[in-house]
Structure 1
Amino acid sequence: MDVKIKNLSLTYGDFTAVKNLSLEIDNGESLVLLGKSGCGKTSTMRCVAGLEDPSGGSITIGDTAVVDADRSVNLSPNKRNVGLVFQSYAVWPHMTVLENVSFPLRMKKAPKSQIRAKALETLELVGLAHVAHKGASMLSGGQMQRVALARSLAMEPAVMLLDEPLSNLDARLREDLRVELRRLQVELGLTSIYVTHDQGEALALADRIAIMQDGRISQLATPEETYRRPASASIAEFLGVSNIFKVQPASPLDMRVRLAEHDLEVALDTADAMLTGDDSICIRPEHVRVASGPAPAGPNTWNGTVLVSVFQGAYARCTVQVDNGPAIDVHADVRDLAEFHQGDRVHVRLDPHHVRLLPQHAPVHDETVPVPVPQGV
């Protein structure tokens, strides 16, 4: 079912966790709330679940208003038909796997003849039918989280709510379960709200990503748009972009800016770029090229010295101190950077097309007003 959140607010005393937030989630859509700790993402999800009492606004699931502050409507969690999967595994250790998954069906007073069949069918879906009669305490962490997921799926929820369910697992298992969660969400057509601070999870699991800052949505976009076109320097920094530098006007006629802390000009390739007075340029490390020898003539080509070169498995990371400029991170194929060592003289090149000019902060997102997104790279 679709979910409509309108002007949602949540306060704790003098602190406002969610500030007048509006958002619409389509039927079958996977929306990820992404942000730092304390940004309001979990509080928003808990309001949808019925675990918090909003201070204002409304939430509608399908045709049912589950929250409407103006009409004093606030349905209890058990009347909302939402599935919940938390960071902790939250399985009952004294029950078998089958009993854990059957529990919500018993609470809904489903016919006994259907409970076992539905529970086994759901365990088959998550790949745990072979451990149905094992004690839940005998399972691995990944298996326990699958049991928690199966328990929520068995009740056929209108909306699935997941609060950082993979954060307690090791890296390899997290990656495997990301793929599994996405498969199930698409295969079952589940409307889901997923909360995380991990951008990798967000990119893997979302149809759209809502980036939250200070209780508000700062950017709402597809994973590709979010990755390629962050709406502000603060968002780009949160997404892991290391090359972010404050700038000031240099030569607007030929689209150049000057780094605020270095005597270095950078050429842009965005015809409609506008300086707001508190701007930065954003350069993804994978867009920088490094090579031996002095810099040839051309825009954004600078001499420098290798500070460090580190093997990272799928790629190598190199940091180059640009002459009269900043230290720039470079991500490249291991073979391209294998020859470089600390102290080597090199030059770096950057296509102006890959330089993003961004304001420090994005405007507050409003579902009713399209938010302009800076031009892509």
Structure 2
Amino acid sequence: MDVTIENLSLHYGDFQAVKDLSLDIADGESIVMLGQSGCGKTSTMRCVAGLEEPSAGRISIGGRAVFDADAGTRVPANKRNVGLVFQSYAVWPHLTVLENVAFPLRMQKVAKAQLREKALTTLRTVGLEDQADKSASALSGGQMQRVALARSLAMEPAIMLLDEPLSNLDARLRDDLRVELRRLQLDLGLTSIYVTHDQSEALALADRVAVMQHGRIAQLARPTEIYDTPASASIAAFLGVLNIFPVQPGTGHRLVSTEHPLELVSESAGLGDVPASVSIRPEHVRVTLDRDAQVANAWEGTVGVTVFQGATTRCSVTLDAGPVVEATLAGSAVNVFHPGDRVFVQVDARDVKVLPDEVPGIVPDLPAAEAPAELVGAGQAGE
């Protein structure tokens, strides 16, 4: 079912966790809300679930208003038909896997003759049919998360809400379950809202990514657009761009760093008086022993450290002009460049992106230490 959020606001005392947020989610669409702790992503999801009462705005699911501050509509969480999967598995260890999945079906008064078969069908969907009669306490972390997912799927929710469900798993298992979650979402046509601070997770699972900052959506776009053209330098930094250099005001294609005697050439022009920075992805940086005269940006420097990462090598180079540039090089460059080597760092003009420091209208809040206590900490309302 489709979900519409209109002018949603949520206050905790004097602190505003969500600020006049509007978002339309199509039937069967996967929206990932991506952002740092305290940005309002979990608070928004909890408002949709009915676990928080917004201060203002309207939320509808499948055309039915479940919250409307002006009309006084407040549908309780257990009447919204939403599936919830949290960071903690919340699996009952004293029950079998089948009993865990069957629990919401019992609450829905499903006939006993159908209950076991429906629960088994759902377990088959997540690949756990052969574990049905095992005690839930005997499962691995990844299996427990699948049980939690199956339990939510069994009730055939109108929408699925997932709050960092993979963050407690090891890296390999997270990668595997990302693929599995995306397959399920596509196969079942699930409308879903997925909350995470992990950019790789967001790019893998989303039809569209909503990057949240300070209680607002700073950028809403498809994963490829978010990755290729972040709307601000602060978003680029959050997405893992390591080379971000503030530049002096101007409108030309030749830019000057405000912190170092470093000139950069970009195909995009400066932004005038808007505070701006240039962003260079590490994979767009080339490290060479000789300078290519055809490259617009070429700076001499000294290798600081090289780190072998399997298919790639990360290389840090301190430029003679002062800044450190990070490069992600293909293959085992750790055997080519060593600390102390003199090299050239080269970047094409098309890969030097000029970005505003912040998206217009996105104003930072109080530091996290000054935010209300209930907003601080993983899994709490203010995330």
TM-score, structure 1 length as denominator? 0.93
Q: Which residue of 1 aligns with 2:374?
A: none
Q: What letter corresponds to residue 267 of structure 1 in structure 2?
A: V
SS in structure 2 opposite 1:118? Answer: helix
Give the SS at the match of 1:307: strand
Give the AA of the match of 1:323.
D
Which 5+ residue runs of structure 1 have no aligned equivalent? 366-377
Q: Which amino acid aligns with 2:8?
A: L
Show CA shifts across 1:222-244 (max 9, x none): 11101111100110111111100
After superposition, where does 1:4-15 map in structure 2 within 5 Å?
4-15=4-15
5 Å matches for 1:1-377? 1-249=1-249, 252=252, 255-270=253-268, 273-294=270-291, 296=293, 298-364=295-361
d(CA) in 1 for partners of 2:154 and 2:357? 45
* Cα contact 1:216–1:364 (8 A) shared by 2: no
The answer to whether the 8 Å contact 1:307/1:321 transfers is yes
Partner residue, 1:372: none
| Distance in 2 (alpha carbons) for counterparts of 1:34 and 1:260 | 30
SS of corresponding position for 2:134: coil
Alpha carbons 1:306, 1:320 under 8 Å: kept: yes
Cα offset, 1:293, TM superposition: 3.3
8 Å contact from structure 2 (residues 33, 209) kept in 1: yes
The Cα of 1:114 is off from its aligned counterpart by 1.4
CA pair 49-250 structure 1, distance change in 2 beyond 3 A:
closer
Q: How far, CA to CA, are the matches of 2:262 and 2:9 in structure 1? A: 45
The 2-side partners of 1:335 and 1:116 are apart by 53
For the residues of structure 2 that align with 1:306 and 1:244, how far apart are their CA atoms?
A: 19
Native 8 Å contact 2:98 2:133 kept in 1: yes
- Asked whether the equivalents of residues 295 and 347 of structure 2 are also in contact (C-alpha less than 8 Å), the reply is no
Give the Cα–Cα distance (whole angstroms) in 1 for the partners of residues 131 and 161 of structure 2: 25
Q: Is the 8 A contact 2:249 2:275 kept in 1?
A: no
Give per-residue Cα distances to partners, 1:212-231, cap 9 Å, x unaligned: 01110000011110111110
Match of 2:103, SS? helix
C-alpha distance 31-250 of structure 1, shift in aligned 2 (>3 A): closer
The structural deviation recorded for 1:40 is: 0.4
Deviation at 1:277, TM superposition (A): 3.3
Question: Structure 1 residue 322: deviation in Å?
Answer: 1.3
CA distance in structure 2 between the partners assigned to 1:218 and 1:106 by the alignment: 42
Aligned residues: 362
Amino acid at match of 1:290: V
Cα distance in 2 for partners of 1:116, 1:139 equals: 20
Displacement of 1:317 after TM fit? 0.5
Distance of 2:251 and 2:321 partners within structure 1: 19
CA contact (8 A) 1:10 1:55 kept: yes
Offset at residue 295 of structure 1 (A)? 5.9
Q: Secondary structure at the match of 1:109?
A: coil
Verify the 8 A CA contact 2:311 2:332 in the aligned structure 1: no
SS at match of 2:70: helix
Cα distance in 1 between the residues matched to 2:324 and 2:88: 41
Q: Which amino acid aligns with 1:99?
A: E
Q: Judge conservation of contact 1:250–1:265 (CA < 8 Å) in 2.
A: no
Is the partner of 1:71 in helix, strand or coil? coil
The runs of 4+ residues in structure 1 deviating greater than 4 Å are: none
Give CA-to-partner distance per residue, 1:276-323, whole Å, 9 cap, x none.
331100000000111113564642111111111111122101011111
Task: Determine the C-alpha separation between the residues in 2 that align with 1:364 and 1:90.
Answer: 38
AA in 1 matched with 2:317? V
| Counterpart code for 1:269 | E
Q: In the TM superposition, what whole-angstrom CA distance separates every residue of 1:241-265 from its partner, at most 9, and x where no partner exists?
A: 110000014672xx11101111121
Note the C-alpha offset of 1:274. Answer: 2.2
Query: For structure 2, which runs of at least 5 residues remain unmatched after alignment?
Result: 363-383
Aligned CA-pair RMSD: 1.4
Aligned mates of 2:250, 2:39 — CA distance in 1: 35
Corresponding residue number in structure 1 for 2:372: none
Cα contact 1:293–1:345 (8 A) shared by 2: no
Q: Distance in 2 between matches of 1:269 and 1:119?
A: 57
Output one character per residue of 1:122-180: Cα deviation in whole Å (capped at 9) or x when no partner. Answer: 00010000010111111111111100000000010000000000011111111100000
Q: Provide closer, same or farther for how the CA distance between residues 220 and 250 of structure 1 changes in structure 2, counting only shifts above 3 A.
A: closer
Cα distance, 1:264–1:99 mapped onto 2, change above 3 Å: same
Equivalent residue, structure 2, for 1:368: none
| TM norm structure 2 | 0.92
**Displacement after TM superposition at 1:112 (Å):** 1.8
* Higher mean C-alpha displacement, 124-133 vs 314-323: 314-323
Identify the range of structure 1 (142-151 vs 356-365) with the bigger mean alpha-carbon deviation.
356-365
- Aligned residues of 1:248 and 1:277 also touching (Cα < 8 A): no
